[in-house]
Each structure stands twice: as structure tokens, then as C-alpha cells.
A = this chain, B = another copy of it.
Amino acid sequence: MAESAITVSHTRLQEFIVTALVAMKMPRAIAEVTAGLMVRTDLRGVDSHGIGMLPRYHELWQAGYIRMDAEPSVVRDEVATGLLDGQKGLGHYVSTQAMKKCIEKARTYGLGMVAVRNSGHYGAAANYSMMALEHDMIGLSMTNSPYVAMVPTFGRKAMLSTNPLSFAAPAGRHAPFVLDMATTTVAIGKLSVASRWNKPIPSGWALDDSGTPTTDPFVALKHRLVTPLGGTRDLGSHKGYGLGVMVDILSGVMSGAVYGDLFYRSDRQERRVQDVGHCFAAIDPVRFRPLGEFKHDMDDMFEALKSSAKADGHTRIWIAGEPEAESERKRRRDGIPLAPALLAQSNEMARGLGIAPMV
């Protein structure tokens, strides 16, 4: 049986994360940006990528894999493109810098693309694609990771990360379109959430070490062998695998960061360097047609989708980003529910850092 959740307000969560990151030597301004993105992720109901990651960041910092005092540097700033170096920091702050640059370039040239190398985990991909929305632009965000999880179609060894991508586009009356997806069937974070609540996982999400699907979240977490989106070759896993490689090409190969299983084959483990790569882009839709017309058609498409006939047993068709926007309204008002195991883990970390427990 799962224990019941402890509810924490987003303001308390923000304060706790800032204090923890500052205790790990992150400059306060960077800690505030980082915590803001992590809390927004929890508000949006993406429990796998917000506070749930903090104990892991702490662990990576202790092991020397993250320099919390890093300040990103600009390696290249060309016409419509750019390249930043995360200087071994956590990924959140450098990613906001990269996306700001994309938006400026898109304002001038119609579109902009900025890649980041030598970075760390950047949390939820949508945090950066969504930055384009307040400028009435389309945003794109993707990342790889040194830690492999995705087994290629016809393989039995994890060779790629879950390589997520996010695409955000503004609408008019309707909430914006915000897609944020791992290119695996599920993100590793979902396995952690399932194990945190001790819930079985659907067959087809993950494999055991013989390559057979498992429903045990602990077995799945142990082997980290997840299938590409599609699940099996017959149902299109070669597409999910292809999308995963695409994200790795843009985030890792193009930026000059880690890719595929390179982390395990290079001296990066020895040197304690994660070398995560990200890629961001912004597109200004007014370069193609007037904004009012663009937003009108976005609303019209979404209304047609939402009002179309439902499958038996279902009453609602969703637009990507709607569940998260609804969670954000609710949790901003009612607080964020945390699993007892996560709270215990966070408070243990707090003790180690000499700061006050979360609650």
C-alpha cells in the first residue's frame, strides 16, 4: 500500500531548494532561477523532474560531477546560431541563457538555434520551450544525458539516454500547445515515481536483463532498460529509436558534448565530467503569417480535436500541455503533494547540508 502524500506550498518548496543549492555553493541568483524552474515543474505535476531530482543533484555534487558555482560561457555567437559551455554546472541556468539567445535571434532573423555542451541535468525540457511563449514565438528544447536507458530496436543493451524533446507554440483563447516527451516509451523518472509509490508498471515500458518486459518498478529501475517509443518493432519502436538518435545528434554530436554510451567509453567518468548536451530553438511565426491568423487557427484546431468523438469509456480528448496547466492552477492553490520517501530523502540531505528540513 502506498502511504499518503505530504503537501507543501510552492513558496516553501522554492525557499527550501534555494537554501539547499546555496548551501552547495551555487550563487544565489542562479539558485533562484534553478529553484523556480524546479518548482514550476512540480506545480505542473511533472513529479519526476522537479524536487524529485534534488537528492540526486546533491549526490552528483558530492561525487564531484557538478560544479554548483559554475558560470556558463559563450563559445560561439554567430548569425542565427550560438554555442554555450555549461562549465560543468547544473543545466537549468545555462539553458535559460541559451533560450534567451534563441529568442533574440528569432526576433532578428526569424529563427535562432543555440546548443549547449559540458552541462548537467536541466530538469523538464518544457521549461525552456515555454520561454518562447511569452514572446509569441514557437520554442524547441531537447537534451541528452550521459546515463543510458534506451535499448535500440533489436538490441538488449541500453545505448542511448531517454533523450526528451519539448515543443511549445502559442494559441489565442486556448492554452498554449506544450509537448514534452521522452523518446523512450517512458522516462526513467516515471520508473522512480512508480517505485517511490511501490506501484507495478505496465508491460512494455521496460525490460529485465534478459530483454524480457517486466512490470516490477524496482527491477526496471535497477537495469534501466527502457524501450524506444513504439515499444516493439511491429508497433514502431524503430521510430522512437530514430527520434532518440535525432535528439542525440542535435544535443550531443552537434554541440560537441557526450552522446550515446560515450560516457562509459571515455575518460569522463574518471574525470567526473557529465558533459550533457542540450539544443534549443525559437521560431517567430509572424515571419510566415500575421500572428492573429496563426493564433486563430491554433484555437480552431484545438477546439476541433477536443470536441471530436470520444472512445468508449473516455470523456475527454486532451491537447498537450493541458493536464500540466490544470495541475499548475490547482497546485498553486492547494500545494504540491510529495511522496513520504522523497520528503525523508530531502530532509536527510538537508541535515547533511546543515539547513532546516523542508517540513
Contact = CB atoms under 8 A, between A and B. Distances in A.
6 contacts: A79-B108, A159-B305, A160-B305, A229-B229, A245-B305, A255-B289
A262 B300 contact: yes
A56 to B, nearest CB: 24
Contact of A177 (B76, B245, B312): B245
A111 B81 contact: yes
Interface stretch (A26-34, A64-72, A149-157): A149-157
Chain A's interface size range is 35 or more
A319 B241 CA distance: 9
A83 B287 CA distance: 9
Interface string A241-282: 111011011101111100111100100000000000000000
Contacts of A249: 138, 167, 169, 177, 298, 301
Contacts of A243: 179, 181
A356 interface: no
A144 to B, nearest CB: 11
B320 A238 contact: yes
Contacts of A308: 152, 155, 157, 159, 261
A115 B110 CA distance: 12
A297 to B, nearest CB: 5
Contacts of A211: 311-312
Interface in A280-299: 283-285, 287-289, 293-294, 297-298
| 6 tightest Cβ-Cβ pairs between the two chains A and B | A81-B110, A179-B242, A154-B314, A80-B109, A242-B320, A81-B287
A318 to B, nearest CB: 7
A294 B157 contact: no
A3 interface: no
A143 interface: no
Contacts of A293: 256
A202 interface: yes
A153 B262 CA distance: 36
Contacts of A78: 110, 287
Contacts of A169: 246, 249, 253
Nearest to A182: B239
A330 interface: no
A145 interface: no
A359 interface: no
Interface in A43-71: none
A257 to B, nearest CB: 10
Given A254-B294, A287-B81, A288-B256, A236 B229 contact: yes
Given A80-B110, A83-B289, A154-B317, 14 more contacts: A79-B110, A109-B109, A138-B254, A153-B317, A155-B311, A156-B312, A177-B245, A177-B249, A179-B246, A211-B312, A229-B230, A230-B236, A260-B305, A262-B300
A240 interface: yes
